[in-house]
Amino acid sequence: MIEPGEVWLVGAGPGDPDLLTRKAEKLIRAASVVFYDALVGPGVLDLVPAHVRLVSVGKRAGRHSKEQKTIDTLLVEAAQAGERVVRLKGGDPSIFGRATEEMTACRDAGIRVQLCPGITAASAASASLGASLTQRGLARRLTFVTAHTRKGQLLDLDWKALADPEATLAVYMGKRSAEAIARGLMDAGIAGEMPVALLENVSLPEERRFITRLDLLPLAAKTSLGDGPAILLIGETLSVTAELRQRTQAEQLPA
Ligand code: SAH
């Protein structure tokens, strides 16, 4: 299923190995080398057979990581050396995953490269909350946006376009920009009462969920999350989690 000299970008899902596709698992088993991100769950890495070379090219916000260009080169060189290359990425490789850079590097070098999809963080978060991301008449649009900024730069998003009360907004890499997000959306007309869910380490044993409202988001982001990857879901469809909110807050009160 994977020939020597070929590269597959494989979605590892949000962390829980049960959320891996069967195809991803087959590819991992058929590889001779696996390059993986910091976001790939430990349970997923456990599925990599012992004879397969496992190389961390870790990338986590604000921490030391290999440059994207170095990763591109590693993939190309491994394929040119005749390896069966799997590039394992958290969630879905095609969503905020730098997949284009890696595919372009491979194609430019004449290397066949393919994608295997994965469950993206927003889908896993919705499952974990028991809340749909879309809802007839209430949330007709689903927007995936990244709030990642380079160090020292201000978040520059088109708030007018994002401030649609009939949309659900899934914000990736948004923890550090929570304040700017709340301000930007409220200034563009979204009500402070708009429900917001913050989820950290979705699908892993360390998962944390927090339901709040837009005007309280900055406070919640500061006080309710640790240093794991976190996603924000903003939108009316999350109001069905009101009951969950009470439960979650109760769970988080000190015993
Ligand atoms: N390709 C990935 C996204 C990579 S960007 C995907 O499709 O999910 C990295 C961001 O994804 C993190 O900062 C966080 O916002 C989100 N993320 C990834 N895994 C997550 C998890 N298990 N729990 C919460 N957020 C997660």
Structural domains present in the chain: 6-116 (3.40.1010.10), 121-244 (3.30.950.10)
* Nearest C-alpha neighbor of 45 from the set 62, 29, 32, 59: 29
- Rounded to the nearest 5 percent, the helix, strand and coil shares of the chain are 35, 20, 40
Which of 101, 231, 234 to mutate for ligand 1's pocket (most ligand atoms within 8 Å of CB)?
A: 231
186 assigned to active site: no
Indicate which residue's Cα is closest to atom 11 of ligand 1.
172
- The pLDDT value recorded for residue 60 is 59
The residue length of the chain stands at 255
Q: For residue 236, what pLDDT is reported?
A: 94
pLDDT along the chain (255 residues), means of 10: 97 98 98 96 97 87 70 97 98 96 98 98 96 94 90 84 96 93 97 96 96 95 92 94 58 54
Helix H segments across 99-209?
A: 99-108, 121-129, 159-162, 178-187
pTM value is 0.92
Q: How far is CA 159 from CA 134, 163, 193, 255, in A?
A: 20, 6, 17, 40
Distance, CA 96 to ligand 1 centroid (Å)? 8
- C-alpha Rg value of the chain to the nearest Å: 19
The residue annotated as part of the active site, out of 37, 72, 92, 164, is 37
Tell me the β-bridge partners of 17: none
pLDDT in the model for residue 247: 55
Catalytic residue list contains 69:
no
| Listed residue (219, 200, 86, 196) closest to 131, CA to CA | 196
Q: How far is the CA of 198 from the centre of ligand 1 (A)?
A: 12
Q: Are 4 and 81 in contact (CB under 8 A)?
A: no
Active site residue 103: no
Q: Which of 72, 103, 164, 173 is catalytic?
A: 173
CA of 95 to the centre of ligand 1 (A): 9
pLDDT given for residue 248 in this prediction: 53
Beta carbons of 55 and 34 less than 8 angstroms apart: yes
- pLDDT for res 242: 57
